[in-house]
Amino acid sequence: MSNILEQANNIINNRSEEKERQYGPMGEGFERAAMIASGMSGKEWTAHDMFIAMVALKFSRQSYNFKEDNLLDAVAYIGAWQNYIDETGAVNAKSEKTLLTEEARQAFEQEDTSDPDFADQSFHGQEVVASSPYEEAQPSSHPRHFLDTLISLGANK
């Protein structure tokens, strides 16, 4: 039996064409997963964040139940993360995020407040009030409704 590093190398760097066809390129998959997580959470996620989350999940599982597979997966994700960094040229997880400069933020705010439809904080006779998607029931067609249903099913177990 080979050691865990050799096994992880085979999983990540000697990935079969079938796996590539079935799941797509790993880096691209993590980029797509980051977009999905961003949409679901309302917070910006990057592929780097996804790699971090997957490694953290494996370590969390390991803390409950020692299984070599948890460690193997964690090492494989770390190796895949390094490959992603090498391929994209991104040095750290924060390099993909761009913050607004103070000047751009002020221009954005000025643009928002100069709109006459919103100047009196009303829209078609109704007061404009921001609401959190996490505080009220969503229509059944809303993605958050599906997540709320899954969460409630898990809580009932």
User: What is the count of structural domains for the chain?
Assistant: 2
| Pair (139, 77) in one structural domain | no
Question: Under 8 Å CB-to-CB from 117, ≥6 apart: which residues?
Answer: 123
| Pair (86, 108) in one structural domain | no
Please, which pLDDT band fits residue 7 given cuts at 50, 70 and 90?
confident
How far is 66 from 104, CA to CA, in rounded Å? 50
| Pair (90, 19) in one structural domain | yes
| Pair (52, 14) in one structural domain | yes
| Pair (28, 80) in one structural domain | yes
What predicted TM-score, i.e. pTM, was given to this entire model?
Answer: 0.53
Give mean pLDDT, residues 71-84.
92
Residue 129, CB-side half-sphere exposure with 13 Å CA sphere: 6
Can you give the residue range of the structural domain that contains 132? 102-155
Which of 74, 96, 118 corresponds to the end of one domain?
96
| Pair (90, 140) in one structural domain | no
Please, which pLDDT band fits residue 156 given cuts at 50, 70 and 90?
low
| Pair (9, 86) in one structural domain | yes
